[in-house]
Structure 1
Amino acid sequence: MRQSSAIARRVAAASVSLVLASGTAACAGPRDADAGGGAEKTPAKGGTLTVLNSAPQTDFDPARLYTSGGGNIPGLVFRTLTTRNREAGAKGAKVVPDLATDLGRPSKNATVWTYTLKKGLKYEDGSPITTADVKYGIERSFAAELSGGAPYLRDWLVGGDTYQGPYKDKSGKGLASIETPDERTIVFHLNKPEGEFPFLATQTQFAPVPRSKDKGTKYEEHPLSSGPYKVVGNERDGERLRLERNPHWSAATDAERKAYPDAIDVRSGLDASVINQRLAAGRGADAAAVTTDTNLGPAELAKVSGDKDLAAHVGTGHFGYTNYLAFNPKVKPFDDPKVRQAIAYAVDRSSVVNAAGGSSLAEPATTFLPDQKAFGHTEYDHFPAGASGNPRKARRLLKEAGHENGLTIRLTHSNAKNDETGPEVATAVQDALKKAGITVELDGLEDNDYSDRIHDVDHEPGLFLSGWGADWPSGGPFIAPIFDGRQIVKDGANFNTGFLDDKAVNHEIDEINELTDLDAAAARWGALDKKIGRRALTVPLLHPVYKRLYGKDVRNVVISDWTGVLDVSQVAVKSS
C-alpha cells in the first residue's frame, strides 16, 4: 500500500475478530446475535444489505482499482486467479484459489508461473470465462487512461516496463510474457523470482475482461461480472452502487463467497458521524447495514461502550499498518546514528497512544513489521524506552554526540485532525523529547502538501511522521518499498525515506523473494526487520486499532487479518 492520504488511512480499516467495544471480550470467529445479544441464529439467503461508506467507490473498473482500498466491494463482482481465504482472524491471511484450480505452479526459480482455470466458469451473460480474458484484463491495466491500480505487474512481467496497453498495441498480440496455450491455461514470465506471485494474483487486475465487451473508460459503468453479484446501477461515479445476483455465478466454482443477500446497496460520500449515527440508531434499512471504511472515534466509542446492545455490534481489530517517525539521514543532525537513537529512547509511546485515541484505538509498536504472524513479526526493541520513554538514556547519547546542551529540531506532520500523522501525535512526540533536552519545532502541512513533501527526495524533511501498510499480508510489500535501495525514486514519489541502499539488505530481499514456501519467507522477513531496526532509520510508534459498528440485523460477521474489514461476501441479513 502506498502511504496514503489522511482520508485513505482512515478508510484502510482492520479487524481480526469480534471484540466488545470495551475491549474486554472477544470471540475468534463469526458471531450471529439478535439485537439484544441473545441466541445465535443461522444465516439465510434473502434481503438487501446496505453499505454506508465515507469514500465513494469510484473508478469501478478492475484495471483501475487498488484492492487494498475500497473495502471488499469489488470482490463481489470481480473474481481473480486467487483470492484471500474468507475466514476470521489469522486464517483469513492465507491466499487460496479462486478462478484457478490452485495457487499456481512455479518454475524452479519462481520466474514462471502457470495457472489452470476451473471448469464451468461464466460471466453474468452466460458466456464462458477464458484465459484470453484474464490476459486481456491484465493488459488493459497498462493503458494510461486506465491507471490507478497496483503497480507490481509493470515491474514484474517481462516487457511490462515498456508496454502501453492494448489500445496502443498495433500488433494485437499483447504482452508476450503472458501466454494462453488454451482456454484454461495461462503462463506468466517474470523478469525476477517472485515467490509471492499467488498474492499478486488476488489483485483486481487479474479479473477477466472479454475484449469484445471492453468500452475503455466507460467499462466501469457496467463491467461484466464474474462474481456472485452484477452491477445494476452506478450513480455519480460510485456514490451509489447497486448490485443484484448474477444468475450465472455458481457456488460450485466458488468456495469463498457466501452471497447471502439478494441485493447490495452501497451508499457513499457520507459524513463519518452520520454513518455512525445511522448504524447506532438501526432504523429501517440501516438495521441491515454495515460500513467498510468508517471507524468509531474516541467520543463515539465512549458512548458505545456504555450501551450493551451497541457494544455487541462493534467489530474491532488490526490491519497490517505501522505509524512511525521517519528520519532523513542526509539532513543534520539526523546523519548521526546516536541522535536518531536518542530520539528513539526519548519517545513516550503511552502519550502517543493517548494522542491517537487511547489504548482502544492504538497499540504501541517497537517493530516495523505489524504484530501478525503472516508478516513474519519478530519481537525486538533495540532502544527500550519503556512505556513512557527513557529521557536519561537519551541525554547520555546526545552528550556522546556532542549535544550536551541539547538541540533544536523540526518535526513535519500533517494538519489532518484525529490522524496518526496529525498534530495530536506530533505534540505528544514534542512533549516527550523536551524531557530529554530536545526542543521540537512543529511544521504542520496541509495533507496534499505534506504527502508531496515527505515523498520528494530533494525536499524530504529531516524528521517527520509517516505510516505504511501492506498490499497483502507478508513482510515483502512492507519491507521492500521502505528499505530496498533499488526502490529509491528520484523523479517521483519515493518511499525509501531513510535512503538505505545496502547490498546485503538488497541481496536478502532478493533471496526471500525466491521462496515459494511462504512460512519460511515470513520468518526471514522478520529477521530482516530486526536487522534493519538496529540502524534507527525509523522509530515505530503504534499500530492502529479499528472499531466499527454494524447493524443489529447483520449476521455472520467475518473479519480477517488480510483486509481488516468486515467481509461483505460473508454477511447475511436474514436468519433461519
Structure 2
Amino acid sequence: MRTRISTSHPRTSHPLRVTALSIAAVSVGAVLAGCSSTSSRSSASSAFSAANCKGGTLTVLEQGSLSEFDPARLYTSGGGQIPALFFRALTTRDRVPGAAGDTVVPDLATDTGEPSQNATVWTYHLKPGLKYQDGTAITSADIKYAVERTFDAQLAGGPPYLRDWLVGGDTYQGPYKDPKGLSSIETPDADTIVFHLRKSEGGFPYLAAMTQFAPVPKAKDTGTQYADNPVSSGPYQFAGYTPKKQLELVRNKYWSASTDSQRLACPDKIDIQSGLDATVINQRLAAGVGADKYAITTDTSIGPTQLAQLTGNKALASRVITGAFAETVYLAFNTKKAPFDNQLVREALSYAVDRQAVVNAVGGSSLATAATTFLPNQSALGYHPYDYFPAGASGDAAKAKQILAQAGYPNGISVTLNYENTDDDGDGPAVATALQAAYAQAGIHVKLAPTGTDSDAFRAVVGDTANEPGLSLNTWGADWPSGAPFLTPIFDGREIVQGGGNFNLAQYNDAAVNARIDQINQITDNTAAQQQWGDLDAQLGKLALTVPLYFPKNLTLFGPGVKNVYLSEWRGTYDIAVVSVK
C-alpha cells in the first residue's frame, strides 16, 4: 500500500522497476563522497548552510496522482513525503543521515510521549506558540478531533492501528455521527492530550508521527472536501491545487522554526507536478535545465538510460541517492485454501523459487537484493538472517520434487498465481513470469492470473478473506522502523479483517504468537525490542507462511541545483523537508 520511495505503510505502489537490466549499483559512499556537513546534516551537492538556505523555487516531479490530501486518509492513497511540508504530528522521525534517522523525535509535542500503566496510557504536551496558517492556536482538542475523524467511514483509508489500540475504537464511528467523541482520548487542557489504549503498545510514539495525528480545526473541517484545501500546521500552505496534476505551495507565515527543528523550509515556493511518466521524470532530472535544475522526485527510481550512463558520467553519478525503504516483495499463501493448507506444499514452493530470476526481472542487483527472511535486512527492524528452505541462487528443483512427493503429489502440482497487472510496482507480470518458468522445473505448473487494473483493484481481491486466492504476489513495507508494523498485520490472528481490507493473507491465527506479539509490544526500549522481533520472524519463517523474494533498492536522481541531499535511511531516499535550492 505505499509508494516504494515516498511512503511507509502496508501494500505499496512503487517507482519504475527496470526489467531485465543488471548494472553495477552506485554505492551510497560514492554518492555521498565529498559531502560537507552542517549540524549533523550532510550535503551531497554543493556547499550548504542551514542558516542561509532560504529562497528559490523547488520543483517536484511525481508519477503519483496526488489526489488525496486529507490527513485521515494519507496512507493507502499516497502523497509520500509531501504532506510533511504542511502537516505536523505529535512526533516525527529525526531528519538526519544514517541510522539516527530511524529515531522518533518530538514534533508538535515537547517529547515523544510519557508512557504509564505498562505503556497503555500515553500523555503528550504541546509546545508553546504553535499556530495554523491563519494565525489561530493549535490545541490538543484539534488533535483529538483529527484522530476521531479518521474513524468515519467516508474518510477510510488511513492506518488501522487506532481502531484496534484505542479503548472503544473498535465500535466508534467518528465525530460526524458521535460528536461526543472517544472518551479514551482526553484533553485536560489546551496543551495536553492523553491516549488510553486497551493493550500495551511500546511503539506508540512511532504511530503518533502519522498524519492521523496532524491537527484539524473543527470549525474548518469540510468533510470529504477537506482534502482539497487542508489547513496547514507546517511550514507551507496550499496556493493552488489541481487534483492529479499540480500542487503549488507557499510559505505559511505563522510557522516558526523555533517550534520545528525538523523542517528547514528552505525554498520560498514548491511546485509539485504529478501524473508524469517515469521516463520523462528521469530525463528531466538528468538534463537538469531550466526549472529542472532545481527539481527532485519522491516516487521515481532511475530508469535504464540513466543506469547505463552512471558508470561513465561522474557528474550524473554524483546526483544519485542509493538506498532501500524497508519492504519485502513476497509470495503469500492462503493457508485456508488447498493445497496451501499443507505445509509441505508451501515448503516445496520455497525450495523451488529462483530468486536470481526474480532479481533479474526487476532490474538486477542494482535494484533488488534476494530475500530469505520476511523482515528486511535493516537492524532497526530486528533483522536476523535465516534460510530454512535453501534454494540457492536459482532454486532447488530436486528438493522441491522430493517434498511434493512427501506431500502426496509425486507427479507435480498445478497452482494459480494472482498478481497486480502492472510492472510499475516490481511485483507484477515480469516477476510472475520469472516464477512460472522456475517452478516448471520442479513440476509446479503455475497458471498466471493478472488481477485488477491497479493497486486498489488488486488489493480488493487479495484482501477479501472470503474470496482470497490461494497464491498471490505482494509487497509489504513497515509503517515505522520496527518489527511491530512489519510482523503484526501479517501474522497476528487478531488482525484478520473479514471481508475486505485484510493483510494477514495466510489467515494465520495462533494464540501463542498473538501473546508473543503482545509481550514484545510492552517493551518501550526500541533497541531491546529489536532482538525480540527478529526472533519472532525467525520462528515464523519455519512455517513457510510466505516465500520472501527480494528487498527493493532505490536509485533516485536530483537536479544539479538542489542542495542538502542526503540519504534518509528510513525512507531509502532523500528528504524533501530539508532540501534547498539556494
Is TM (by shorter chain) over 0.5?
yes
Aligned residue in 2 for 1:429: 435
- Identity across the alignment (%): 56
Find the aligned partners of 1:228 and 1:38 in 2 and give their Cα distance.
24
2:2/2:78 contact within 8 Å kept: no
Find the aligned partners of 2:114 and 2:459 in 1 and give their Cα distance.
40
Deviation at 1:433, TM superposition (A): 1.9
Aligned residue in 2 for 1:513: 521
Find the aligned partners of 1:342 and 1:353 in 2 and give their Cα distance.
20
Aligned residue in 2 for 1:16: none
Aligned residue in 2 for 1:9: 13
Deviation at 1:28, TM superposition (A): 6.3
2:12/2:477 contact within 8 Å kept: no
- Note if 1:167 corresponds to 2:167: no
Aligned residue in 2 for 1:535: 543
Find the aligned partners of 2:311 and 2:553 in 1 and give their Cα distance.
15
Unaligned runs of 5+ in 2: 18-22, 38-43
1:167 aligned counterpart, secondary structure: coil
2:249 aligned counterpart, secondary structure: strand
Find the aligned partners of 1:32 and 1:542 in 2 and give their Cα distance.
34
Deviation at 1:570, TM superposition (A): 0.7
Aligned residue in 1 for 2:396: 390
Find the aligned partners of 1:240 and 1:108 in 2 and give their Cα distance.
47
Q: Which segment drifts farther, 328-337 or 481-490?
A: 328-337
1:231 aligned counterpart, secondary structure: strand
Deviation at 1:42, TM superposition (A): 4.1
2:24/2:366 contact within 8 Å kept: no
- Of 218, 226, 230, the residue aligned with 1:219 is 226
Find the aligned partners of 1:306 and 1:569 in 2 and give their Cα distance.
31
User: Given the superposition, is the C-alpha separation of residues 287 and 428 from structure 1 closer, same or farther in structure 2, using an over 3 Å criterion?
Assistant: same
Find the aligned partners of 2:553 and 2:350 in 1 and give their Cα distance.
22
Number of residue pairs matched by the alignment: 563
User: Given the superposition, is the C-alpha separation of residues 32 and 24 from structure 1 closer, same or farther in structure 2, using an over 3 Å criterion?
Assistant: closer
Counting only pairs closer than 5 Å after superposition, residues 312-391 of structure 1 correspond to structure 2 as 312-391=318-397
2:16/2:302 contact within 8 Å kept: no
- Of 464, 474, 484, the residue aligned with 2:482 is 474
Find the aligned partners of 1:29 and 1:183 in 2 and give their Cα distance.
47
User: Given the superposition, is the C-alpha separation of residues 215 and 167 from structure 1 closer, same or farther in structure 2, using an over 3 Å criterion?
Assistant: same
User: Given the superposition, is the C-alpha separation of residues 86 and 66 from structure 1 closer, same or farther in structure 2, using an over 3 Å criterion?
Assistant: same
Counting only pairs closer than 5 Å after superposition, residues 256-295 of structure 1 correspond to structure 2 as 256-295=262-301
Aligned residue in 1 for 2:214: 207
Amino acid aligned to 1:499: Q
User: Given the superposition, is the C-alpha separation of residues 493 and 124 from structure 1 closer, same or farther in structure 2, using an over 3 Å criterion?
Assistant: closer
- Note if 1:571 corresponds to 2:579: yes
1:81/1:201 contact within 8 Å kept: yes
Find the aligned partners of 1:541 and 1:20 in 2 and give their Cα distance.
20
Deviation at 1:162, TM superposition (A): 2.5
Q: Deviations over 1:119-173 (max 9, x none)?
A: 222222222222122112222223333333222222222222232222233xx44
Q: Which segment drifts farther, 538-547 or 211-220?
A: 211-220
Amino acid aligned to 2:13: R
- Note if 1:100 corresponds to 2:104: no
Aligned residue in 2 for 1:441: 447
- Of 416, 420, 434, the residue aligned with 1:414 is 420
User: Given the superposition, is the C-alpha separation of residues 225 and 340 from structure 1 closer, same or farther in structure 2, using an over 3 Å criterion?
Assistant: same
Deviation at 1:537, TM superposition (A): 1.1
Deviation at 1:357, TM superposition (A): 1.1
User: Given the superposition, is the C-alpha separation of residues 147 and 502 from structure 1 closer, same or farther in structure 2, using an over 3 Å criterion?
Assistant: closer
Amino acid aligned to 2:57: T
Counting only pairs closer than 5 Å after superposition, residues 487-566 of structure 1 correspond to structure 2 as 487-566=495-574
Q: Deviations over 1:300-338 (max 9, x none)?
A: 422444432222111221111101112223333323222
- Of 133, 137, 150, the residue aligned with 2:142 is 133
Aligned residue in 2 for 1:26: 30
- Note if 1:456 corresponds to 2:464: yes
Deviation at 1:82, TM superposition (A): 0.4
Amino acid aligned to 2:218: R
Deviation at 1:96, TM superposition (A): 0.5
Q: Which segment drifts farther, 563-572 or 391-400?
A: 391-400
2:110 aligned counterpart, secondary structure: coil
Q: Deviations over 1:167-191 (max 9, x none)?
A: 233xx44221111111111111112
Amino acid aligned to 1:475: G
Find the aligned partners of 1:131 and 1:333 in 2 and give their Cα distance.
52
Amino acid aligned to 2:185: I
User: Given the superposition, is the C-alpha separation of residues 174 and 187 from structure 1 closer, same or farther in structure 2, using an over 3 Å criterion?
Assistant: same
Deviation at 1:405, TM superposition (A): 3.1
Q: Report the RMSD for the aligned CA atoms in angstroms.
A: 2.7
Q: Which segment drifts farther, 434-443 or 42-51?
A: 434-443
1:279/1:289 contact within 8 Å kept: yes
Deviation at 1:502, TM superposition (A): 0.9
1:31/1:556 contact within 8 Å kept: no
Find the aligned partners of 1:32 and 1:286 in 2 and give their Cα distance.
23
Q: Which segment drifts farther, 373-382 or 461-470?
A: 461-470
Amino acid aligned to 1:54: Q
Deviation at 1:24, TM superposition (A): 7.9
1:26 aligned counterpart, secondary structure: helix
1:573 aligned counterpart, secondary structure: coil
Find the aligned partners of 1:212 and 1:419 in 2 and give their Cα distance.
40
Amino acid aligned to 1:233: G
Find the aligned partners of 2:49 and 2:24 in 1 and give their Cα distance.
21
User: Given the superposition, is the C-alpha separation of residues 572 and 391 from structure 1 closer, same or farther in structure 2, using an over 3 Å criterion?
Assistant: same
2:100 aligned counterpart, secondary structure: helix
Aligned residue in 2 for 1:253: 259
User: Given the superposition, is the C-alpha separation of residues 403 and 7 from structure 1 closer, same or farther in structure 2, using an over 3 Å criterion?
Assistant: closer
Q: Deviations over 1:352-374 (max 9, x none)?
A: 10011111111100100111111
Aligned residue in 2 for 1:181: 188
TM-score (norm 1): 0.91
1:166 aligned counterpart, secondary structure: coil
User: Given the superposition, is the C-alpha separation of residues 222 and 334 from structure 1 closer, same or farther in structure 2, using an over 3 Å criterion?
Assistant: closer
